[in-house]
A and B are shown apart, each in its own frame.
Chain A
Amino acid sequence: MTGLLIDPFGAPYLARALVEALILGALCGAIGVYVLVRRLAFLTDAITHTVFPGVVIGFLVSGQAGIVPGALVCAVLAAGLFTLIASTTRVSDDATLAVLLTSFFAVGVVLVSRQRSYTADLTAFLFGHVLTIDRDDILVTAAVAVLAVLVLLVLGRPLLAGAFDREWARASGYRITLLDLVGNMLIALVVVASVQAVGTVLVIAMLVVPAATARLISDRLPVIVAVSAGLGLLGAWLGLAASYSASIDHGVRLAAGATIVLVLVAGYALALLGRGLHRALVRRMPVAR
């Protein structure tokens, strides 16, 4: 079993994939808790779609190397626009998001439909290509992770106060719109960092599933953050190892990103089952108070 978990990663490309996946797993797990408590899953999903035109334009301008900068520009633009529109108009947040999501995505589709040779790269963008990650991709992801840790260290308390009780936080003098902007930008950065490895379709799972699982396991925020980051890490590792083993040892091709997501979802299912069992047992036990 340990051989299965460690041996494959001797090959440099797999070692790079593992490092990238581990950083992303922990990063998405931690930021996912903010997504969970602020109920921003839909915003996250919308950002994954809004990066699409950025990816296309970036690719047209400078090929593979243009994808991350292009995605970054669009994600930051979308997160900024959303924060601005949501704080100044009476249109509900979800409607604002729907408008942004579809308009950005439509621009992307129009651009793609004018190209002939894009389909292969498009698939990589949708589902990720963790096995062809290079050193620069890892550096970008690591930089986002460092930034995320810094933001959480400095702004953790204001972000918590704003997530729990917005009106009180505002009355206490916190600049809520600014905090929202920082939080939304952070989500945008994490989405962009994840796009190369797991693809836009699956990023949302990396952000939401470990946090939701951790929430099932604990009521305490520090524990939830730690468990969520740990689950993200573990899911990335097990998923990659399973994908490698299936492909090499059993001749079944399993997409790495999707396998990671399936492992995370399996964890969620287990936690759900465990919680159900725990409740059933507690109900049968005599009350000891």
Chain B
Amino acid sequence: MPPPVSDAAIAFIHASVAYDRFPAVEQVHGTVRPGEIVALVGPNGAGKSSLIKAVLGLVPVVEGSIVVLGRTPAQARRQVAYVPQADTLDPDFPISVAQVVLMGRYRRIGWLRSPGRADRAAAEAALAAVGLEHRARDRFGLLSGGQRQRVLLARAIASEPAALVLDEPFNGVDAVSQEALLSAVRDLTARGAAVIISTHDLTLAQSTCDRVCLLNRRQFAFGPPADVLTPSLLRQAYGGAALELGDHGLILTR
């Protein structure tokens, strides 16, 4: 049965989430503890993005609840960092890499002050953590997709979050950037941050995440990768998108 809620950074308690008044994903139940990485896995349209937006307080929880750092998602916003998919952003936007990372400090800087030495230092350290300190002055849009994704992670790191939520950070990302992303995320979990990553990459979920939440409009399993990423559970969750490979496994087509 589910672990107790008390030591969790993020707790899903029989939570159902609606997007645009239609149920997107139902009955999610499980926890993310400090220092833990949990993968959200499921086919396209499974409700991964909606669940992520619910953790950020952008989409309503219509049944059950989601508790983030002991509070409601909306109340916890300032301590939760969100890493969107880099390719949703305008590559022509006139903004430098350093400016993007500094955005992570905005809520700490306040309305009327300008960024102080501590803010700049935090932004520089965050950019170094993803291995892009040499690109600080370049325009954001000039970087490769993987590098842009790393800059967005650096922005999240700069805000010194207690919890981190990444939406499909590895889509179309080269191996170098993927390794840089993972190592920076591990640095954060070593400092006690709770991390949720939505991903299509089951191998990655298996090798890097402490636990996996398998979704398709509802939760199919939530637990250690070895228990969740089994052919039989994947077959159930992916339905017609799972192609059988004899007795030895299956291919997921979406």
Chain A residues in the interface with B (C-beta under 8 A): 37, 90, 153-155, 157-158, 160-161, 163-165, 167-168, 170-173, 215, 218-221, 224
What residues of A have a CB within 8 angstroms of the CB of B100 in the complex?
164
A-B contact pairs, 28 of them (CB 8 A): A37-B93, A90-B20, A155-B111, A157-B109, A158-B106, A160-B95, A160-B103, A161-B103, A163-B93, A164-B89, A164-B95, A164-B100, A164-B103, A165-B84, A168-B84, A171-B53, A171-B57, A171-B77, A172-B82, A172-B107, A173-B78, A173-B107, A215-B94, A218-B94, A219-B94, A219-B96, A221-B94, A221-B95
- Of chain B, the residue at the smallest CB distance from A158 is B106
How long is the Cα–Cα vector from A163 to B92 in the complex, in angstroms? 12
What residues of A have a CB within 8 angstroms of the CB of B78 in the complex?
172-173
**Residue B206 is within 8 A (CB to CB) of chain A in the complex:** no
- Of chain A, the residue at the smallest CB distance from B167 is A167
What residues of B have a CB within 8 angstroms of the CB of A165 in the complex?
84, 89, 103
How long is the Cα–Cα vector from A221 to B141 in the complex, in angstroms? 13
Given contacts A173-B77, A173-B107, A220 and B94 within 8 Å (CB-CB)? yes
How long is the Cα–Cα vector from A21 to B11 in the complex, in angstroms? 59
Chain B residues in the interface with A (C-beta under 8 A): 20, 53, 56-58, 77-78, 80, 82, 84, 88-90, 93-96, 99-100, 103, 106-107, 109, 111-112, 139, 152, 155, 159
How long is the Cα–Cα vector from A219 to B112 in the complex, in angstroms? 25
How long is the Cα–Cα vector from A157 to B90 in the complex, in angstroms? 18
How long is the Cα–Cα vector from A215 to B77 in the complex, in angstroms? 34
What residues of A have a CB within 8 angstroms of the CB of B20 in the complex?
90
What residues of A have a CB within 8 angstroms of the CB of B152 in the complex?
168
Q: A161-B106, A168-B84 known; 4 other A-B pairs, CB under 8 Å?
A: A161-B103, A167-B58, A170-B58, A173-B78
CB pair B56–A171 under 8 Å, yes or no, is: yes
A154: which of B94, B112, B139 is its contact (CB, 8 Å)?
A: B112
How long is the Cα–Cα vector from A164 to B140 in the complex, in angstroms? 11
What residues of B have a CB within 8 angstroms of the CB of A153 in the complex?
112
What residues of A have a CB within 8 angstroms of the CB of B84 in the complex?
165, 167-168
The 10 closest A-B pairs by CB, nearest first: A171-B82, A173-B77, A171-B56, A219-B139, A157-B106, A221-B94, A219-B94, A161-B103, A167-B84, A164-B93
How long is the Cα–Cα vector from A100 to B94 in the complex, in angstroms? 30
- Of chain A, the residue at the smallest CB distance from B106 is A157
How long is the Cα–Cα vector from A240 to B26 in the complex, in angstroms? 65
Smallest CB–CB gap between A288 and chain B, Å?
17
CB pair A167–B77 under 8 Å, yes or no, is: no
Main secondary structure of the interface of B (DSSP, over half): mixed
How long is the Cα–Cα vector from A217 to B193 in the complex, in angstroms? 42
- Of chain A, the residue at the smallest CB distance from B77 is A173
What residues of A have a CB within 8 angstroms of the CB of B57 in the complex?
171
- Of chain B, the residue at the smallest CB distance from A37 is B93
What residues of B have a CB within 8 angstroms of the CB of A164 in the complex?
89-90, 93, 95, 100, 103
How long is the Cα–Cα vector from A215 to B111 in the complex, in angstroms? 27
- Of chain B, the residue at the smallest CB distance from A163 is B93
- Of chain A, the residue at the smallest CB distance from B165 is A171
Smallest CB–CB gap between A56 and chain B, Å?
38
Smallest CB–CB gap between A60 and chain B, Å?
42
What residues of A have a CB within 8 angstroms of the CB of B80 in the complex?
171
How long is the Cα–Cα vector from A173 to B73 in the complex, in angstroms? 11
How long is the Cα–Cα vector from A78 to B53 in the complex, in angstroms? 31
- Of chain A, the residue at the smallest CB distance from B139 is A219
- Of chain B, the residue at the smallest CB distance from A90 is B20
Given contacts A157-B106, A161-B106, A168 and B96 within 8 Å (CB-CB)? no
- Of chain A, the residue at the smallest CB distance from B114 is A157
What residues of A have a CB within 8 angstroms of the CB of B155 in the complex?
168
Smallest CB–CB gap between B145 and chain A, Å?
16
- Of chain B, the residue at the smallest CB distance from A172 is B107
What residues of B have a CB within 8 angstroms of the CB of A37 in the complex?
93-94
What residues of A have a CB within 8 angstroms of the CB of B112 in the complex?
153-154
- Of chain B, the residue at the smallest CB distance from A215 is B94
What residues of A have a CB within 8 angstroms of the CB of B103 in the complex?
157, 160-161, 164-165, 168
Smallest CB–CB gap between B26 and chain A, Å?
23
Most chain A CB within a 10 A radius of its CB, from B58, B82, B88, B112: B82
Most chain B CB within a 10 A radius of its CB, from A158, A164, A168: A168
Smallest CB–CB gap between A51 and chain B, Å?
29
How long is the Cα–Cα vector from A236 to B136 in the complex, in angstroms? 36
